[in-house]
Homo-oligomer: A and B are copies of this chain.
Amino acid sequence: MVLKDNEFEMQHQITYYECDPKGYLTLGMLINLAVLASGSQSEALEIGEAAVKEVGGGWVITSYDIFVDHFPKIGEQVLLGTRATSYNKYFAFREFWVKDLAGNELAHINGVFVFMDMATRKMVRIPDEVIYPYHSAPVKRIPRLHRPDEIQTEEAVTQKQYQVRYFDIDANLHVNNAHYFDWMLDALDADFLKTHTLTKMSIKYEREVRYGDLVTSQVTPAISSDQGQVMTKHQILVNQELHAQANCWWNENA
């Protein structure tokens, strides 16, 4: 439902196929649900994909900061929310959240989007007609997201490879962004994934991955970070070229 002004919330029940082996929502599905909320807001405001396509372009994500207090469990009812917070000439800043029905925030995501001209495949000034309906605040500068600490060439990494599949492509004809999270996290040991829970992630998309690409997902060993957490650095390469990079922060499970 459309809330005041620039906000939107919808209820969702977490299904078993959105969950990991421990029954918690996966990170990839968290992003799918966030994007589902913003897509529903756009449809409600009649500025959905079809309308945006008529303008000759499309929204493209550049980066996310993801904060997780805890992941909802299989069967849980949650509220998926989003706010078209602010924008300037080239960048739109949007927030997403997942709350339990008592109103406690379980996860919060900040994202920065740009608008791409579909003909030239170049970033263009955000057209007025695709941003006005959201009642987002025009600002000089949008908030800066965390810039992921890059993997240095001398750092040891482990890696896995993934062929991009036909069903990785969504109705936008792009690789669904959620798959980047599966590739990045699956490169970690199963033992690490079983014993750690993600609390924060910063991801920056550099180039688009396409159908048939052979993706290399690299990850550094976990190093100590603040407050008893460990941090991993991730990158997605195609033909040795950087396509996305991220940092993840983890708590060891009690």
Q: Which residues of B contact A222 (CB under 8 A)?
A: none
Q: Give Cα distance in the complex from A250 to B125, angstroms.
A: 44
Q: Does A144 contact B (CB under 8 A)?
A: no
A166 in contact with B178 (CB, 8 Å): no
CB within 8 A of A171: which of B16, B32, B165, B176? B16
B186 in contact with A17 (CB, 8 Å): no
Q: Does A228 contact B (CB under 8 A)?
A: no
Least distance between A183 CB and chain B CB atoms (Å)? 9
CB within 8 A of A17: which of B173, B178, B212? B178
Q: Does A102 contact B (CB under 8 A)?
A: no
Q: Could you give, for residues 21-43 of chain A, a 1 whenever the CB lies within 8 Å of some chain B CB and a 0 otherwise? A: 11100101100100110010001
Q: Which of A141-178 contact B (CB under 8 A)?
A: 160, 162-163, 165-167, 169-171, 173, 176, 178
Q: Does A238 contact B (CB under 8 A)?
A: no
B178 in contact with A165 (CB, 8 Å): no
A186 in contact with B170 (CB, 8 Å): no
Q: Given the interface contacts A166-B186, A182-B167, does A36 sit within 8 Å of B21 by beta carbon?
A: no
Q: Which residues of B contact A190 (CB under 8 A)?
A: 166, 211-212
A182 in contact with B170 (CB, 8 Å): no
Q: Does A74 contact B (CB under 8 A)?
A: yes
B16 in contact with A39 (CB, 8 Å): yes
Give residues in A with beta carbon < 8 Å to B: 15-17, 19-23, 26, 28-29, 32, 35-36, 39, 43, 74-75, 160, 162-163, 165-167, 169-171, 173, 176, 178, 182, 185-186, 188, 190, 193, 211-212
Given A20-B169, A22-B171, A162-B163, 15 extra CB contacts under 8 A: A15-B32, A16-B36, A17-B29, A17-B32, A17-B170, A17-B176, A19-B171, A23-B171, A26-B167, A43-B75, A74-B171, A165-B182, A166-B185, A166-B188, A167-B185
The contact sample of 17 A-B pairs, CB cut-off 8 A, is A15-B32, A16-B35, A16-B171, A17-B29, A17-B170, A17-B178, A19-B170, A19-B171, A20-B171, A22-B171, A43-B75, A162-B163, A165-B182, A165-B186, A166-B185, A167-B182, A167-B185
